[in-house]
Amino acid sequence: MSHPITGNRRSVLIYSLVWLMVSAVQGVLYLYILHFPISVVVTDALISNLLFGFMGLLAWYPTRYIPFQKQSPFYSIMAHVVAGIIVMGTWVLLTIGSLNLIFSEQEDYIEFLNQTVVWRSMLGGLVYLVLVLIYYLVSNNQKLQERSQQEERLKGLVRDAELNMLKSQINPHFLFNSLNSISSLTMTNPDEAREMIIRLSDFLRYSLKHRENEFVPLAEELGRMKDYLAIEKIRFGEKLLYEFDINRECEEFPVPTMIFQPLFENAIRHSVYESVDPVTIRFSCMSDQGYMKAVITNDYDPGIPSMKGTGVGLQNVRQRIVLAYQEKGTVHWVGNDGVFTVTILFPRIFI
C-alpha cells in the first residue's frame, strides 16, 4: 500500500501548498502582533511548519503498520501515543534547536521561542492526531478498493473456470460423434472419410486456437460452423441441408467461440437422424433493439419419437451466454408445428 501523499504528485503539491499557507498565516501573526523582524518571522514560519509537514508524512507509517484492533484497542492507542511522542519530540527539538542556533543574538525572540515550547508541542500533537485519523480513513478506503478489486478478479477467474468447464463438456461430445462417423465411413467410403478427417482437423485447430480468446467475429465463427456442417453432410448426404442469412451489420459482431456448434449438433441429432426426408437447418442474424438476434431453426417430424438426450448442449449454451454477458444475454428455444427454434440475444453493449 503506497503512501497516500508521496505516492501521488497532485497530493504532494496540495500538501505542500497547505503547509505554505499555514506558514504564511503564522508569519503574518508574528509580524503584526509580535512585531518581530521579517527575517525572524519568515525563518520561524518556514522551519517550524515545513519541518512539521515532513514529520507529518512520517505519521503514515505508524498508521500503516499499527492497525487499530477492536479486540485490544489499548495496545493500538499506546503504540500511537509512543509514536506521536517520538515524532513530536523530534520535531520540537529540531525546530527549537535550529531557531536557537540561527537567532542566538535575538534575545527577545529566543525568550519567546523557549516560552512557546509547551503550546507548540500541544498544537503539534493535535495536528498529529488529525493526520493519523485522516491516514486511517485513507488506509481503510484503500483496503476496501483493493478488496473490491480482488473480488472482481476472483469473480473473473470463477467465470472463466465455469466457461472452460462448459466448453470442455461440449468439445469431447462433438469429437466422439465425429470419430464414430469417421469410423463408419472408413469401411463404406474411404475417400469421404479422408476428407472428413481433414475438415475435422481444421475445425479442432480453430477450437484450440481460440480457447484463450473468448470472443471472435460472427463471420469467423460461422465459417467454422459451415466446416462442421460439411463434416456432417459427408455422412448424411442430401438428408442434411443448411442455409445462412446474415445481415452485413452482424458479420463483425463478437460472439463466444464455439457457441453455435452444440446447437447445430442438437438440430442434427434430433431431426436428421430420424427423418427420411431432407431436413433444412437455417441460421439467420439481424439487429434487434440493442441486441444482435441469432435464430437457428430446423425441421422435425413431431410424429417420430426423438432420440433421447441429456439436454447438455442447450443448457451449456444458455449458461455460457449468461456468464459471458453477465446475465444480459438470453437463450430461448421452442418446438412448434414441426419446427424447432433456438433464439439467442447478444447484447450490443458488450461490443
22 and 106 belong to one structural domain: yes
Average pLDDT over residues 77-86: 80
Domain that holds residue 308: 189-350
pLDDT band, very low/low/confident/very high, at 83 (cuts 50, 70, 90): confident
How sure is the predictor about 350, in pLDDT bands with cuts at 50, 70 and 90? low
Asked if residue 252 has pLDDT above 80, the reply is yes
Predicted confidence at residue 294, as pLDDT, reads 95
What pLDDT score was predicted for residue 212?
47
Residue 129: name the closest of 83, 160, 65 by CA: 83
Mean pLDDT score, 84-90: 82
pLDDT at 218: 93
Q: Is residue 161 part of a domain?
A: no
Q: Clarify whether residues 239 and 344 are in a common domain.
A: yes
Residue 68 domain-assigned (yes or no): yes
pLDDT value at 224 more than 70: yes
Q: What DSSP letter does each residue of 188-246 carry, written as one string?
A: H-HHHHHHHHHHHHHHHHHHHHTSS--EEEHHHHHHHHHHHHHHHHHHHGGGEEEEEEE
Number of domains in the chain: 2
Whole-prediction pTM value? Answer: 0.52
If asked whether residues 206 and 74 sit together in one domain, one would say no
In this prediction, residues 225-244 reach a mean pLDDT of 87
Q: When comparing pLDDT for 30 and 346, which is higher?
A: 346
pLDDT on residue 168: 54
- pLDDT tens digits, 139-189: 788 778 877 877 777 666 566 655 555 555 555 666 776 787 788 778 888
pLDDT averaged over every residue in the chain: 81
Model pLDDT, residue 214: 75
Report the percent of the chain where pLDDT is more than 70: 85
Does the residue 249 lie in any domain? Answer: yes
Q: Are residues 225 and 326 in the same domain?
A: yes
* 182 located within any domain: no
Q: Which three cell numbers stand for residue 341?
A: 427454434
Regarding whether 76 and 196 lie in a shared domain, the answer is no
Q: What single string gives the DSSP state of each residue in 254-315?
A: EEETTSSHHHHHHHIIIIITT-SS-EEEEEEEEEETTEEEEEEEEE--TTSPPPP---HHHH
Question: Are residues 206 and 139 located together in one domain of the fold?
Answer: no
Looking at the chain, the number of H-run helices and the number of E-run strands are 10, 7
Tens of pLDDT along 13-50?
Answer: 888 888 888 888 888 888 888 788 888 888 888 888 88
Q: Is 162 contained in some domain?
A: no
Domain identity same for 125 and 211: no
What are the tens digits of pLDDT across the range 280-334? 999 999 988 788 999 999 988 777 665 555 466 788 888 888 888 877 889 999 9
Q: What is the CATH number of the domain that holds 337?
A: 3.30.565.10
